[in-house]
Amino acid sequence: MNGNVVIVGSGHAGVSVAFKLRTQGFKGNITVIGEEIYLPYHRPPLSKKYIANLADEGRLYLKQESQYRSEKIDLRLNCRVNAIHRSEKQVELEDGERIQYDALVLATGARARSLSTALGGGAQNIHTLRNLSDAKRIRDALTQNKRLLVVGGGYIGLEMAAVARSLGLQVTLIERESRILGRVAAAQTAAYFKNLHEKHGVRVLEGVGIESLERSNDRIEKVRLSDGTVIGVDVVVVGIGVIPELQLAQEAGLQVANGIVVDRAGRTSDTAIYAVGDCASFVFRGQMIRLESVQNAVDMAEVVGLSIAGASTRYDCQPWFWSDQYTTKLQIAGLNLGYTQVAVRNKNETALSVWYFDQEGLIAVDSINDAKAFMTARKWLSSGQSPCLDDIANQSLELSAMTIFEKTDLVT
């Protein structure tokens, strides 16, 4: 197997494709192009151990520099692709250099949403977290200041609040929607984490947004909320979601729909071009979705690497996620899109699981300090099986004792 493979993006997805190709015996040229100056690194620790000063930069790297050399992977850092020339099968770099490809992989990821400039975004002490440079700035800011405002009650915002409290900061977290985790979790999961953070001293304000920001010397000193509350701040961290990086794909005329549209093998509307990770959208349970997780990035990369190497394969998405906050571990199996019913199993005061069902059966589980529930749910979901909602709701019935149905046989 020969030819030229060019990979745009040096995160988990891009690097995983490169090394998968080598393990499959691909002998051609592999070029990985990344805009950052750092060796490719693990991103999940950025909002956890790295900002808390519990992990140094060297421990974040996905691979050592010598491993790229030994596998003959041309890793180009601090390098930007400006255009894709599909008819010539070339990518054009910022300096004008063109690189030929037989297969092109777009692993461009996503960028953090920021506050609008009109509202006050861009001030020196307003931060977003998406990459290592962001994390370094936030880590320095948290060690030098006392009052943090977190904007956004998703998992990144909650993890940021937990780290800041562990460092001794006063933390206020605001969420514009009626509750935290409103788009990603049931009310029961959200209530658990709201209570957890309040017990640790975080001021959690729901149903309020930012009305205005008071600036002095390019720093935000006060924030007026939509309910009239005024908060004094030293640091603001914004965690209000991400936007997929689609510009290259759009300008090249590839099909996009909240992501670069791909088939089960990761191919885009141009069969010589693939997309993986946070920038890719695909069909899951009959609808187009785009996932932002390391698991999805790596699993998609495995399929794309195999496909480029000539294997017949397809991506069978089995989502799972995790979040660490204080000493609490949340593990999520499946995807709760379209859930209609929820059952909660309370293991003890600090451990529970939230089970999501649609009309066909189990679709996802939030397990909080309950590894058994997580592993059991993953097994059932991956095999297309489901317990009955009533069994899950029966606290006295062990998971191992439940009657399990094939989803296609489940009657609701």
Superfamily, domain 114-238: FAD/NAD(P)-binding domain (3.50.50.60)
Q: Which of 250, 225, 311 is nearest to 26 (CA)?
A: 311
**Rounded mean pLDDT, 20-26:** 97
C-alpha dist (Å) from residue 78 to 9, 32, 50, 213, 341: 11, 11, 22, 34, 48
Superfamily, domain 4-111+242-308: FAD/NAD(P)-binding domain (3.50.50.60)
Per-residue confidence at 37, pLDDT binned at 50, 70, 90? very high
Average pLDDT, the chain: 96
Say what the pLDDT of residue 71 is: 98
Please report the sign of the dihedral spanned by the C-alpha atoms of residue 372, residue 378, residue 383, residue 385: positive
**Rounded mean pLDDT, 278-284:** 97
pLDDT of 356-367, one tens digit each? Answer: 999 999 999 999
**Rounded mean pLDDT, 310-331:** 95
Q: Which of 10, 4, 68 is nearest to 297 (CA)?
A: 10
Q: How many CB atoms lie within 10 A of CB 349?
A: 7
Those residues whose C-beta lies under 8 Å from the C-beta of residue 30, and which sit 6 or more positions away, are 5, 7, 18, 21, 22, 71, 72, 73, 74
Superfamily, domain 327-409: FAD/NAD-linked reductase, C-terminal dimerisation domain (3.30.390.30)
Say if residue 409's pLDDT is above 60: no
Do domains 4-111+242-308 and 114-238 share one topology? The answer is: yes
Say if residue 175's pLDDT is above 60: yes
**For residues 297 and 277, what is the distance between their CA atoms, to the nearest angstrom?**
4
pLDDT of 195-234, one tens digit each? Answer: 999 999 999 999 999 999 999 988 999 999 999 999 999 9
User: What are the extents of the domains in the chain?
Assistant: 4-111+242-308, 114-238, 327-409
Say if residue 28's pLDDT is above 60: yes
Whether the model pTM is above 0.85? yes
